Amino acid sequence: MATTELQRLKTEFLEYLEIEKGRSIKTVENYDRYLSRFLAHTKVASPARLDERMVREFRLHLNRQPGVSGTMKHKTQNYYMISLRAFLKFLRKRGVESLNPERIELAKVGARDLDLISGEELERLIKGPKGSSLTDLRDRAMLELFFSTGLRVSELCNLNRDLDLSRDEFSVRGKGEKVRVVFLSPAAKRAIKDYLDKRGDVDEALFVQYSPASRNAAKNKKEGLRLTTRSVERTVKRYAIKAGITRKVTPHIIRHSFATDLLENGADLRSVQAMLGHANIATTQVYTHVTDKHLREVHKAFHGKRRK
């Protein structure tokens, strides 16, 4: 099957995302999947032939696809439209005639609900690893580091053991290859030191696997012992169950706890945005409706005073 002009441009766009924009391989794969589905549905070969009717028909197609509860969620549909809009902006930048990206509108979605755990639940979770084995020391260091820094799980997995523990901060490379500074609490520094002092291997990764099956698999594939994001997610889930937390707990929920803890104790939104590594302040604003103590205090002080 011959490659169409649009397929060729799509490939150039994906390469642009990876090289010029520094997007992760996973992000590029997602954009590829969304755009490929759009092109397969429209069966259009030339960018000049793309029009609003085709986009509308594709949106109707998505809206009728089965989802977890009923049809595909608007939020999921928007991922396709965001990818298409970014592709059309790329075409415009290249001087390629096509549909105006500003004609692509996103579906309205409800306010995002935050999955949060209480302070007591968080404390039980972090204190879950109680022993002195390498696995317990690793897991304690991992949980303390999550809450101290608000790292994404992928960022934590990519850390190397050469952290300078004489300092209270270190730099991390996050989404889009952007570097930010994160900070170590005394508890996190102590837990990491205890873990590293007991390690006997020479693997460069900060967090490594210890189960015989995992180590053998890594050895057979000639890979390092670095923990995968999936392994970390399973570990957090295990300690959440151990702590008696009934709702689902993930590394991202600990990141939520990190952000809400800062805001509840008076940190400003811009500072939290910087510490989380959010490119846009709107992403950080999801936390304000659960943390704005000032509004609660105003309501309590001034509302309903004339009622008997």
Task: Give yes or no: residues 30 and 160 share one domain.
Answer: no
Task: Give yes or no: residues 135 and 211 share one domain.
Answer: yes
> Token pair of 95, please?
């001087």
Task: Give yes or no: residues 256 and 152 share one domain.
Answer: yes
Q: Tell me if 221 is assigned to some domain.
A: yes
Q: Tell me if 110 is assigned to some domain.
A: no
Q: Would the pLDDT of 26 be above 90?
A: no
Task: Give yes or no: residues 166 and 217 share one domain.
Answer: yes
Considering the candidates 85, 140, 226, 278, report the single residue annotated as catalytic: 278
41 is catalytic: no
Whether the model clears a pTM of 0.85, i.e. scores above it, the answer is no
- On whether the CB atoms of residues 290 and 303 are closer than 8 A, the answer is no
34 is catalytic: no
Q: What's the whole-number average pLDDT of the chain?
A: 87
278 is catalytic: yes
Strands 70-71 and 169-173: unpaired
Instruction: List residues bridging with 181 in a β-sheet.
Output: 171
Task: Give the whole-angstrom CA distance, residue 199 versus residue 194.
Answer: 9
Task: Give yes or no: residues 176 and 268 share one domain.
Answer: yes
Q: Tell me if 303 is assigned to some domain.
A: no
Tell me the average pLDDT across 202-215.
83
pLDDT of residue 112: 59
CATH classification at residue 211: 1.10.443.10
252 is catalytic: yes
Q: Tell me if 307 is assigned to some domain.
A: no
Start-to-end CA distance of the chain, whole Å, equals 79
Between 190 and 303, residue with greater pLDDT: 190
What's the distance, CA 271 to chain centroid? Answer: 18
Q: Tell me if 48 is assigned to some domain.
A: yes
SS3 of 32, please?
Answer: helix
Task: Give yes or no: residues 14 and 72 share one domain.
Answer: yes
CATH classification at residue 26: 1.10.150
pLDDT of residue 139: 96
> Token pair of 158, please?
């990519």
Task: Give the whole-angstrom CA distance, residue 277 versus residue 307.
Answer: 46
Q: Would the pLDDT of 241 be above 50?
A: yes
Beta strands in the chain (DSSP E): 66-67, 70-71, 169-173, 179-183
Considering the candidates 85, 140, 255, 256, report the single residue annotated as catalytic: 255
61 is catalytic: no
pLDDT of residue 135: 95
Structurally, the chain folds into a number of domains equal to 2
Q: Tell me if 153 is assigned to some domain.
A: yes
Considering the candidates 152, 189, 226, 256, report the single residue annotated as catalytic: 152
Task: Give yes or no: residues 133 and 266 share one domain.
Answer: yes
How large a percentage of the chain has pLDDT more than 90? 58
Range of the domain at 267: 119-294
Find, among 269, 264, 265, 253, the residue nearest to 291 by Cα: 264
Task: Give yes or no: residues 84 and 226 share one domain.
Answer: no
Q: Would the pLDDT of 108 be above 60?
A: yes
289 is catalytic: no
Q: Tell me if 306 is assigned to some domain.
A: no
Considering the candidates 161, 175, 193, 238, report the single residue annotated as catalytic: 175
